[in-house]
DNA sequence: GCATCTCAATACCTTTAAGGTATTGAGAGG
DNA sequence: CCTCTCAATACCTTAAAGGTATTGAGATGC
């Protein structure tokens, strides 16, 4: 079977005339005659009745014409869908996020991506840092959002945003009435830190910042995630440092305060990681959105 | 586009190796390399990643492979149907069934149809709900059997049967000795539900029934199909609800129990779907058989 | 770190089959 | 019976698929 023959058959069926069909197809009449004969031989079916006025479809030919139209429709659809997939406009993208990352920048990026590539099915998985790297290597995900990354030979990363840190503090604490809190004052307050795993982590970062400011933090509790941490602040365990985006979480008993007179780098990065050699257009399209988002944000902040 | 290229693509995709594929196709390696390149050029899409170990499909390539299989399926169907038509006995009906549907009513209907139209070649395909609708629209099938359908503008449906639900339970479970089980008792047992996709599905239905009965089900596991589900019951994961027809599956370790004191609608429909505008006499003949079957059954139950 | 091995890719020639020109054959109509 | 209008046949040309030999690139082993 050969698509050329099917195309020729279609035109002859429409024109009911080999000569005219040949003209439409920009070939001469004899080869077209031959192709039609070959098609009939191959199918072992007479598709046309030859009359002195031209060609007329048989019953089988009428059926075959419909089927041929279906075939061409499917081929067209296949090429279009494949081209879309090749440009990253169709398919499935598995992305890992971490617990508190679901607030702030990540949903904005996901929305921007979904708007531009509505036919891409984005599947979200919640994973810690180590798990993300495993999942990337096993190709279970194509991209992971994370913070405080250490470089790896097979994993690339792209910065998404840099967020300043704010202090979550109990409303009954004396400092809760201050408009902003000098960083050094933190030395007086018991701190709740998170997460307890996946080094280098936000705990290491906090400890380093305190040392830069000239004191050792008073660590009250280590917990697994930002939400637990804030819940403990509400019940009076102490205060905690969190990225500003997480401060959309409002709980009775907790207020968020900006920090002043803070060391440089009193901020935390949000990045995304992906396999260095992953050339999937879907991933690259996503990274383009991430970069756009970051540059738009940088301009805004200047 | 050229079917030769598609055929070659399929073999290379299967073998992940141009040399081996060339051998299978009884041609030498260089022309095959060229054909694959031409295909990629024509589609303007990279279909393979070249690795030192061979060829690996890209995401777009994976999609294209499926589409190509659909195309060949349609071509096969077209030639067969045309040949039959040429011999004056038009007759191939492509029908989709779902995993567990192969038990119960469907084979009875198929038998009834084959008895009345012995010359018609019925070809069965196993597909999920979404896939069936795709295949109907692409005219790769003429009819699909399914459950729990949502209405669609271009697809009509016809009810086949309504089946009561029974509980599959491990023989070691205390309730296994009861003659029948009150529905509310299900709240105590971990449930295995299926299928995990194709909403609205049987899982949604089960959850709704439990809510009607005044409790939230204790979901132990979601699986893809009824057979897996029953296998898990056998190994002690919990119990599951299945349509009565599937209870012909007997496995050591599983017994089936009727439910008493159950909410209304503790039953599930079996329907068939088809293109609204499909006037093919073959399809209409099949639907006639379906309707006859249903009315005969209804009388029987009265 | 060099040799080797295993792939796909390239270069160049051969063969197959599609396409073209000229002509014939067959049925219908005047 | 001539002619007109088609498709069919005969025979040549050309485009493109297939083949052989070789190269190039990335891994693997000593």
Digit-coded pLDDT (tens) for A51-61: 888 888 887 88
Q: Indicate if B280 and B165 belong to the same structural domain.
A: yes
pLDDT greater than 80 at residue B209: yes
Q: Indicate if A251 and A197 belong to the same structural domain.
A: yes
Q: Indicate if B205 and B298 belong to the same structural domain.
A: yes
- The fraction of chain B above a pLDDT of 90, given in percent, is 32
Domain harbouring A109, CATH code: 3.40.190.10
User: What is the reported pLDDT for B88?
Assistant: 60
Q: Indicate if B107 and B56 belong to the same structural domain.
A: no
Question: Looking at A86, A112, A141, which one is the last position of a domain?
Answer: A86
pLDDT greater than 80 at residue A85: yes
Number of domains chain B contains: 2
Contact, B220 CB vs strand C, < 7 Å: no
Among all strands, which nt has the closest C1' to B28 (CA)? D19
In which residue are the tokens 């639900």 written? B165
Contact, A49 CB vs strand C, < 7 Å: no
- The whole domain housing A45 covers 3-86
Which residue gives the smallest C-alpha to C1' distance to C18? A31
Q: Indicate if B214 and B149 belong to the same structural domain.
A: yes
The answer to whether residue B154 is domain-embedded is yes
Domain harbouring B42, CATH code: 1.10.10.10
Q: Indicate if B239 and B292 belong to the same structural domain.
A: yes
User: What is the reported pLDDT for A56?
Assistant: 86
8 Å CB contact between B255 and B226: no
Q: How confident is the model at residue B104 (pLDDT cuts 50, 70, 90)?
A: confident
Partner-chain residue, chosen from A47, A67, A85, that has the shortest CB–CB distance to B59: A85
Task: Estimate in Å the CA B12 to C1' C14 gap, whole number.
Answer: 25
Q: Indicate if A64 and A14 belong to the same structural domain.
A: yes
Contact A281 B68 (CB under 8 A): no
Q: Indicate if A42 and A75 belong to the same structural domain.
A: yes
Task: Estimate in Å the CA A280 to C1' C5 gap, whole number.
Answer: 30
Q: Chain B residues with CB inside 8 Å of A1's CB?
A: 3, 75, 79
Q: pLDDT tens digits, residue range A277-297?
A: 888 889 999 999 999 999 998
User: What is the reported pLDDT for A139?
Assistant: 84
Q: Which two tokens stand for residue B258?
A: 């009727």
Tally the C-alpha atoms within 13 A of residue A269's C-alpha that lie toward its C-beta.
Answer: 15
Q: Indicate if A195 and A228 belong to the same structural domain.
A: yes
Q: Indicate if A116 and A168 belong to the same structural domain.
A: no
The answer to whether residue B74 is domain-embedded is no
| Closest approach of A81 to chain B, Cα-based (Å) | 8
CA distances from A253 to A178, A233, B261 (A): 15, 8, 49
Cβ burial A76-109 (10 Å sphere, 16+ → b, else e): eebbebbbbbbbbbbbebbbbbbbbbebbbbeeb
The answer to whether residue B40 is domain-embedded is yes
8 Å CB contact between B96 and B143: yes
Q: Which nucleotides of D are covered by protein (CB under 7 A)?
A: 5-11, 17-21, 25-27
Task: Estimate in Å the CA A4 to C1' C9 gap, whole number.
Answer: 29
Question: Looking at B14, B34, B67, which one is the last position of a domain?
Answer: B67
Question: Looking at A55, A86, A117, which one is the last position of a domain?
Answer: A86
Q: How confident is the model at residue B86 (pLDDT cuts 50, 70, 90)?
A: confident
Cα–Cα distance measured from residue A46 to residue A49, given in angstroms and rounded to the nearest whole number = 8
Domain harbouring B156, CATH code: 3.40.190.290
Partner-chain residue, chosen from A63, A70, A280, that has the shortest CB–CB distance to B85: A63
Mean pLDDT score, A128-157: 87
The answer to whether residue B77 is domain-embedded is no
Q: Indicate if B177 and B140 belong to the same structural domain.
A: yes
Return the residue of A nearest to B51 by Cα: A277
Q: How confident is the model at residue B249 (pLDDT cuts 50, 70, 90)?
A: confident
Partner-chain residue, chosen from A3, A67, A70, that has the shortest CB–CB distance to B1: A3
Residue B123's SS3 state is strand
Q: How confident is the model at residue B12 (pLDDT cuts 50, 70, 90)?
A: very high
User: What is the reported pLDDT for B256?
Assistant: 92
Q: Indicate if A198 and A174 belong to the same structural domain.
A: yes
């Amino acid at each position: 079977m050969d698509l050329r023959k099917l195309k020729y058959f279609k035109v002859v069926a429409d024109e009911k005339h080999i000569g005219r069909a040949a003209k439409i197809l920009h070939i001469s009449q004899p080869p077209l005659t031959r192709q039609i004969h070959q098609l009939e031989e191959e199918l072992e079916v007479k598709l046309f009745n030859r009359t002195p006025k031209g060609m007329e479809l048989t019953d089988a030919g009428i059926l075959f014409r419909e089927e041929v139209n279906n075939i061409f429709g499917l081929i067209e659809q296949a090429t279009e869908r494949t081209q879309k997939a090749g440009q990253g406009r169709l398919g499935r993208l598995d992305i890992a996020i971490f617990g508190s990352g679901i607030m702030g920048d990540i949903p904005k990026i996901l929305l921007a991506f979904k708007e531009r590539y509505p036919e891409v099915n984005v599947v979200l998985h919640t994973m810690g840092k180590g798990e993300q790297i495993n999942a990337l290597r096993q190709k279970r995900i194509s991209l992971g959002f994370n913070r405080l990354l250490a470089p790896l030979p097979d994993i690339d990363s792209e910065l998404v945003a840099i967020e300043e840190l704010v202090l979550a503090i109990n409303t009954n604490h004396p400092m809760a009435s201050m408009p902003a809190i000098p960083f050094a004052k933190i030395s007086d307050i018991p701190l709740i830190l998170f997460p307890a795993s996946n080094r280098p982590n936000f705990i290491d970062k906090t400890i380093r910042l305190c040392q830069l400011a000239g004191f050792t933090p008073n660590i009250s509790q280590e917990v697994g995630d930002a939400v637990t941490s804030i819940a403990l602040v509400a019940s009076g365990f102490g205060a905690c440092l969190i990225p500003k985006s997480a401060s959309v979480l409002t709980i009775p008993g907790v207020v968020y305060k900006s920090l002043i007179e803070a060391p440089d780098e009193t901020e935390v990065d949000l990045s995304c990681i992906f396999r260095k050699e992953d050339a999937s257009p879907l991933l690259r399209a996503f990274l383009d959105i991430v970069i756009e988002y970051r540059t738009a944000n940088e301009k805004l902040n200047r």
